[in-house]
Structure 1
Amino acid sequence: MSFSVLGRITGSEDLKGLHPDQLPALAGEIRDFLIEKVCATGGHLGPNLGVVELTIALHRVFDSPVDRVVFDTGHQSYVHKLLTGRQAAFDSLRAAGGLSGYPLREESEHDLVENSHASTALSYADGLAKAQRLLGEDHRRVVAVTGDGALTGGMAWEAMNNLGSGGGSVIVVLNDNGRSYDPTVGGLAEHLTALRAGSHQGPNLFETMGFAYLGPVDGHDVAAVEEAFRRAAGLTGPVVVHCVTEKGRGYVHAENDEADRMHGIGVVDSATGLPRGGGSPSWTGTFGSEMERIGARRPDVVALTAAMLRPVGLHRFARSFPDRVFDTGIAEQHAVTSAAGMAMAGLHPVVCLYATFLNRAVDQVMMDVALHGLPVTFVLDRAGVTGPDGPSHHGMWDLSLLGTVPGMRVAAPRDPARLTELLEEALDIGDGPTALRFPKGGAGPEIPALGRMQGLDVLHRTRSRPLDVLLVSTGVLAGTALGAAELLAAEGVGVTVVDPRWVLPVSPDLVHLAARHTLTLSVEDGVRAGGVGAALAQACADARVPAPVHALGLPHAFLDHGERPDILAEHGLTARSVADTALALHHAAAPSPTPPAPRRERTPR
């Protein structure tokens, strides 16, 4: 495919040199480029197709990196990357060592904030503007590109409250496409609808908060957007430029995508928009089907999500029980405390989040739910290593965070059958919070247990061997632990593999089992610090179990983007690596053979 205009753009200066008549052709080439590349690699397609003209105008009017541009969220930054000299890298989009799917500071001086959690850009902008004022950098401007979906998050309004009262000359570019993953909800959505329709009378919400307001502007008219940006740049004080855009514009499969499946895609056929290849049923789909079945017989069960109804699998529940599902917008903190209120009133709420977004509501989990002993169940999708989306999306912190919450019970199903079973058990618990975690992708086959011992599933036991090594698997790493057990057995090591099912708090029966083995290794796809292995080691120490406990998991670090199997392998979470570690530790722990006593010579009398 030929890109005659885009091919000449190596930076924003080249963009500024284009005649306005060339810009429609450039926009068309950018869309063709994105469809070709993102369909081949996977990534965020819909959001970027919607900001093509807006981003062109942004880089023609402002002077990045002198002017500081912050994207909220970073998944709408692909066009920004194209216009700042990174076209050649798109073949490696989201691959290990390749182009990040979000802004990345080490990738370009134009990427200021590695921002992929929503509703934060305005706070960054507030801080940048205040610092520039104190440092006398009046020549620099701060531009925050945010969406109507991101404005449903409370943090955005905390920032607006500060910006509107003398926070500096920040330009807020409101990319209003009526959606985040799903249609934007709440009173703000209704207010923006009125502004788009021209039916609102008097000062709007932004003006009331102290902002100048320009718009609404057709976000696909480069000239109109440029004019609005230039007017905004000439004003003193904070200003909102309201740009109305269409998510997925220019690609028929995204424009007609009511379910917003083209927001973030895997590898798809660009001609049809359909995924390539098959696969096993997903964890998300399995959970969604079970929630629908539970809803039919449990009228007390309600569901909450934070602007991600379909991505977390709740669309079936919502279709069957529309009055019992609540989308709070991008507002995880509010979702958790609202769930606490529902539980106080006698319902059993199920709060469905990506594991990475639970980070944003830990205070509410602890102080609003657990402190009151409330029966709220948290279902954490995309737990552990998620892969291509990188450090902000790996769901690797949940076990450590939830392990600090008094009264919290955490389950990790190893297969779809266990997900169904554990979800039922969680919903039957009425004296405190529960959580279920499962990874991204296919759920895989069932892994049967040899038997259940006090709630612990024994998956493997070496017969006629001493109890040398206990492998404690967390969730889907049961398969890895079983593979390691086979390798260990071939080396003559007696090994037991157990799946605790409920991994936190540590079961006393698991401590008892560890005491019967020479060595225990936990295997988990969360950070080792404060995870399941650390909790087991502490429980064994408290019980004065002399046998050592070794935690295998992820390092206390931010992990780059790449494929999940590769990242797990890099950090020793393969069957071979687990077996090698167990062998080395077992040999080190084994007692040395006792040398024979020296023979005494008879002394003649």
Structure 2
Amino acid sequence: MSGNLLSHIQTPSDLRKLTPEQLPELAQELRDFIIDVVSVKEGHLGASLGVVELTIALHYIFNTPEDLLVWDVGHQAYGHKILTGRRDNFDTNRQFGGISGFPKRSESEYDTFGVGHSSTSISAALGMAIASQLKDDTDKNHIAVIGDASIASGMAFEGLNHAGVTDANLLVILNDNAIGIDPSVGALKHYLTQVKEGKNPRLNNMIKSLNFDYSGPIDGHDLPALTKELQRLKNKKGPRFLHIITTKGKGLKKAEEDQVKYHAPGKFDKVTGEILKVTDENLPPKYQDVFGLTLTELAEKNGKIIGITPAMPSGSSMKFMMEAFPKRAIDVGIAEQHAVTLAAGMATQGMTVYCNIYSTFLQRAYDQVIHDVALQNLPVIFCLDRAGLVGEDGATHHGVFDIAYLNCIPNLDIFAPLNEKELRNILYTAQLGIERPIAIRYPRGRGESTNWQLPFESIPFGKAKQLQQGSEVVIVSTGAIGNNVTKALGEINNSALFSHYHFGYIKPIDEGALHKIFSAYKTVITIEDGTIIGGFGSIVSDFAAKHNYCNKIITLGVPDEFIEHGSINRLQQYCGIDVKSLKDIFSAY
């Protein structure tokens, strides 16, 4: 095989026909292919560029898919997808109807485990390894590739702790590049830095104390060294641990120099690496920036305000407060459980704590929300970024379950702002002195107005707001999806038929407003950007049943299924809650 090597590879069995001397050439082609596609189609860039050599070496040495390979997190699996039969449709990555941006079991037999959230690989691969033992399949290898940010999470340590007392055929590969989405934090990060600099060789001792056979650190971009060491480890048994050093964004100078920005840079020039600028002049702000800038503004006047984020200072815009008040804004790393209980501990001492966690990631700390915060009635302010449908990251990242999983928790209030102004004002209101915890959910993307940094106003507790008066049908919405309702009503001829209420407070629900609504209108339409099972519509329906109202209730929202990836507008269309779909529904009256 010569010439364009990548074009001849459909599966790893084709890869294994290459000579070792051809692998560096393939690595360059694979890296170029990723850059070519992602520069136009967008996606996660830096992580996959950093593991090109490792990806090739793993599939070259191990007999995948019989040998089981788990990636942690899936951001780094683009090369894996391209080498395992998805090269020709890789340009559909993260698009509606296309391949997923993360490994996905239903997509390929080479994707052994779905990995959209971090720190799961060691437990999953260990489970596979123990299952193989029970089936007397002792020759099968089980490989977990985990990043230095992911391995710092508690679940990864739980997996290591268990694996060390087994004789499972498990290989853990630590991909150490000192960065997740943002730079890694914590004592383990400093420890690994010392190991890499030759100042502290005791990682060997640390891992050996857990009964792993440790090797490394080795250069993760040195293909001959990688293949040689993987071949050696392939022939050993029991728990093994390989420490490799890589550079996130390897092969694209700009991505190496600015690893945070090039984690997912959007469209860029594939030759120079320059990010193609999208003019954002006169555009409404991103909700995350409204949060970050407002929190910083409030912290200037309130010395008790603390900000906490688990590894998302850029994604949540907590970075603004971290720059202004570095001692009062804390990145705890990929440790959502710790973030929540840390916030609870601070709240016991009278601090005003804003704990900012993506909606999908708060699911990882559910027990802490219940046991450590709500049960003790500690006034932690949860700021749930990326609530609702998030777009191209798909099913692993949609924040559509939070209303349902939080509403059942006693002592916990839930608020969903209509727009950036209301987000700013609820953040202000919460620090005036709340008596119990509150969860503030807001979406990914931009708000509605550029004129949002207005004087603060406190928001009345537990009250709904009527946005439009109509004669026959009432629409009740919660959160920013209500703007779709307003836009749809503005485009129909029979708009005068419809009243529209915005329920910022989902819990406590404004029962006075609901009594008024059910007494005045025969048809009630509820709209939310969360799951209709147990969500806002269910709350309204439960109220109607409790008070013996027999009105017709139509519930619109996310159906009882996992929604795949695609643009937010396309996914809202799929769920029937985009402006056009709502316009069609309303026009039928």
Q: TM-score range by the shorter chain?
A: over 0.9
Structure 2 match to 1:253: 254
Matched, 1:69 2:107: no
Alignment-mate amino acid for residue 99 of structure 1:
I
Alignment-mate amino acid for residue 40 of structure 1:
V
Q: Distance in 1 between matches of 2:571 and 2:564?
A: 9
The answer to whether the 8 A contact 1:378-1:434 is kept is: yes
Residues 438-457 of structure 1 mapped to structure 2, 5 A cutoff: 438-445=442-449, 455-457=463-465
Sort the Cα spacing of 1:201 and 1:480 in 2 relative to 1 into closer, same or farther, 3 A: closer
Q: Secondary structure at the match of 1:117?
A: coil
The answer to whether the 8 A contact 1:154-1:331 is kept is: yes
Q: Distance in 2 between matches of 1:390 and 1:174?
A: 26
Sort the Cα spacing of 1:454 and 1:186 in 2 relative to 1 into closer, same or farther, 3 A: closer
Structure 2 match to 1:96: 96
Structure 1 match to 2:456: none
- Residue by residue over 1:539-580, the C-alpha shift from the partner in whole angstroms, topping out at 9 and shown as x without a partner, is 233233343333211011111111111111111113453355
Alignment-mate amino acid for residue 138 of structure 1:
T
Q: Distance in 2 between matches of 1:247 and 1:454?
A: 47
* Larger displacement relative to structure 2 (74-83 or 279-288): 279-288
Q: Distance in 2 between matches of 1:396 and 1:575?
A: 19
* Larger displacement relative to structure 2 (547-556 or 160-169): 547-556
The answer to whether the 8 A contact 1:478-1:499 is kept is: yes
The answer to whether the 8 A contact 2:393-2:565 is kept is: yes
Structure 2 match to 1:339: 343
- Residue by residue over 1:185-224, the C-alpha shift from the partner in whole angstroms, topping out at 9 and shown as x without a partner, is 1121122122212222555221111111010010000111
Alignment-mate amino acid for residue 395 of structure 1:
G
Q: Secondary structure at the match of 2:70?
A: strand
Q: Secondary structure at the match of 1:388?
A: coil
Match of 1:383 among 367, 380, 387: 387
Tell me by how many angstroms 1:124 deviates. Answer: 0.5
| Unaligned 5+ runs, structure 2 | 453-458
The answer to whether the 8 A contact 1:94-1:561 is kept is: yes
Alignment-mate amino acid for residue 233 of structure 2:
A
Match of 2:427 among 423, 427, 446: 423
Matched, 1:512 2:520: no
Structure 1 match to 2:526: 522
Structure 2 match to 1:603: none
Structure 1 match to 2:221: 220
Q: Secondary structure at the match of 1:351?
A: strand
The answer to whether the 8 A contact 1:170-1:237 is kept is: yes
Structure 1 match to 2:240: 239
The answer to whether the 8 A contact 1:414-1:447 is kept is: no
Sort the Cα spacing of 1:275 and 1:439 in 2 relative to 1 into closer, same or farther, 3 A: farther
The structure with the largest alpha-carbon Rg is: 1
Matched, 1:562 2:566: yes
The answer to whether the 8 A contact 2:233-2:240 is kept is: yes
Tell me by how many angstroms 1:228 deviates. Answer: 1.5
* Larger displacement relative to structure 2 (234-243 or 426-435): 426-435
- Residue by residue over 1:157-193, the C-alpha shift from the partner in whole angstroms, topping out at 9 and shown as x without a partner, is 1111100111502000110001111221112112212
Alignment-mate amino acid for residue 541 of structure 1:
A
Alignment-mate amino acid for residue 469 of structure 2:
R
Aligned residues: 576
The answer to whether the 8 A contact 2:44-2:263 is kept is: yes
Alignment-mate amino acid for residue 166 of structure 1:
T
Residues 91-490 of structure 1 mapped to structure 2, 5 A cutoff: 91-202=91-202, 203-257=204-258, 260-270=260-270, 271-279=272-280, 280=283, 281-445=285-449, 455-462=463-470, 466=471, 468-486=472-490, 490=493
Alignment-mate amino acid for residue 204 of structure 1:
N
Q: Distance in 2 between matches of 1:147 and 1:404?
A: 35
- Residue by residue over 1:140-167, the C-alpha shift from the partner in whole angstroms, topping out at 9 and shown as x without a partner, is 1101111111011111111111001115
Q: Secondary structure at the match of 1:309?
A: coil
Tell me by how many angstroms 1:445 deviates. Answer: 2.7
* Larger displacement relative to structure 2 (112-121 or 516-525): 516-525
The answer to whether the 8 A contact 2:387-2:398 is kept is: yes
Sort the Cα spacing of 1:550 and 1:276 in 2 relative to 1 into closer, same or farther, 3 A: same
- Residue by residue over 1:202-253, the C-alpha shift from the partner in whole angstroms, topping out at 9 and shown as x without a partner, is 5522111111101001000011111111221222210111010000111111
Normalising to structure 1: TM-score of the pair? 0.91
The answer to whether the 8 A contact 2:388-2:443 is kept is: yes
The answer to whether the 8 A contact 1:3-1:29 is kept is: no
Alignment-mate amino acid for residue 410 of structure 1:
I
Residues 42-57 of structure 1 mapped to structure 2, 5 A cutoff: 42-57=42-57
Sort the Cα spacing of 1:28 and 1:430 in 2 relative to 1 into closer, same or farther, 3 A: same
Q: Distance in 1 between matches of 2:255 and 2:528?
A: 37
- Residue by residue over 1:46-105, the C-alpha shift from the partner in whole angstroms, topping out at 9 and shown as x without a partner, is 001100111111111101110000111111110111111211112211111112111122
Q: Distance in 1 between matches of 2:584 and 2:97?
A: 27
Alignment-mate amino acid for residue 503 of structure 2:
P
Structure 2 match to 1:593: none
| Unaligned 5+ runs, structure 1 | 587-605
Q: Distance in 1 between matches of 2:83 and 2:12?
A: 6
The answer to whether the 8 A contact 2:462-2:509 is kept is: no
Normalising to structure 2: TM-score of the pair? 0.93
Match of 2:581 among 567, 577, 595: 577
Residues 494-513 of structure 1 mapped to structure 2, 5 A cutoff: 494-513=497-516
The answer to whether the 8 A contact 2:413-2:438 is kept is: yes
Q: Distance in 2 between matches of 1:122 and 1:541?
A: 47
Sort the Cα spacing of 1:80 and 1:575 in 2 relative to 1 into closer, same or farther, 3 A: closer
Alignment-mate amino acid for residue 398 of structure 1:
D
The answer to whether the 8 A contact 2:105-2:112 is kept is: yes
The answer to whether the 8 A contact 1:472-1:497 is kept is: yes
Sort the Cα spacing of 1:443 and 1:486 in 2 relative to 1 into closer, same or farther, 3 A: closer
Q: Distance in 1 between matches of 2:199 and 2:491?
A: 70
Sort the Cα spacing of 1:452 and 1:72 in 2 relative to 1 into closer, same or farther, 3 A: closer
Tell me by how many angstroms 1:493 deviates. Answer: 5.9
Q: Secondary structure at the match of 1:126?
A: helix
Alignment-mate amino acid for residue 226 of structure 1:
T
Q: Distance in 1 between matches of 2:515 and 2:288?
A: 34
Structure 1 match to 2:15: 15
The answer to whether the 8 A contact 2:265-2:275 is kept is: no
Aligned-residue identity in percent: 36
Sort the Cα spacing of 1:577 and 1:183 in 2 relative to 1 into closer, same or farther, 3 A: closer
Q: Distance in 1 between matches of 2:39 and 2:360?
A: 25
